[in-house]
Amino acid sequence: MNKSNKFSPEVRERAVRMVQEHRAEYPSLWAAIESIAPKIGCVPQTLHDWVKRAEIDAGLRAGTTTSDARRIKELEREVKELRRANEI
Nearest to 15 by CA among 61, 26, 44: 44
Q: What pTM, to 2 d.p., does this model score?
A: 0.79
Q: Is 9-63 assigned to CATH 1.10.10.10?
A: yes
| pLDDT at position 5 | 73
Q: Exposure string (b/e) for 24-43, b if CB count within 10 Å is 16 or more?
A: eeeeeeeebbeebbeebebe
Summarised one tens digit per residue, pLDDT across range 18-76 is: 999 999 999 999 999 999 999 999 999 999 999 999 999 999 999 999 999 999 999 99
Domain ranges of the chain: 9-63
